[in-house]
Amino acid sequence: MSQAQTVRLRQEHFWRGLFFITIALVIGFACAPALPAGLPLLNDKLLHFGAFAALTVMALLAFRKARAVMVLMGLSGLGLAIELLQAMPFINRSAEGMDWLVDVLAIAFLLVLARAFKYLAAAGR
């Protein structure tokens, strides 16, 4: 294995670790009790968009050979699972279909953006 391949493999392992840690944190925050009303908070949909945009970037860096449709399906499934989990009475949170839609839109947006950057980088060679 060449030195470049070794470096790339280490980078992928780093991103995979960070990706799975971030998934655990996202699930943890999604299951945590809701913050009391009246606190200055970011918009809920903005938080969903940011979390799934970050997860998409990490997935693309961690699994470079994965097809975009697999990233879309996997992360969309995670978003749906989180909403279903929040619908459980013992979690004491509310599930919203719009949250899942924002998750999917964030994933799709970042996948299109990544494809555009890849295309522009290839065209600039």
The secondary structure element, H or E, covering residue 20 is helix 3-31
User: Is pLDDT larger for residue 67 or for residue 125?
Assistant: 67
In tens, the pLDDT along 56-109 reads 999 999 999 999 999 999 999 999 999 999 999 888 888 899 999 999 999 999
Mean pLDDT across 40-56: 88
Helix (H, G, I), strand (E, B) or coil at 118: helix
Q: Which residues of 20-43 are buried (b: 16+ CB within 10 A; e: fewer)?
A: eeebeebeeebeeeeeeeeeeeee
- Count of structural domains, the chain: 1
Contact 74, 102 (CB under 8 A): no
- Over 80: is that where the pLDDT of 35 sits? no
Q: What is the pLDDT of residue 123?
A: 87
| Other CB atoms within 10 A of residue 100 CB | 19
User: What's the CA gap between 67 and 100, in Å, rounded?
Assistant: 21
In tens, the pLDDT along 63-77 reads 999 999 999 999 999
Confidence band of 7 (pLDDT split at 50, 70, 90): confident
Q: What average pLDDT does the structure give for the chain?
A: 91
pTM of the model: 0.89
Confidence band of 8 (pLDDT split at 50, 70, 90): confident
Domain that holds residue 27: 3-123
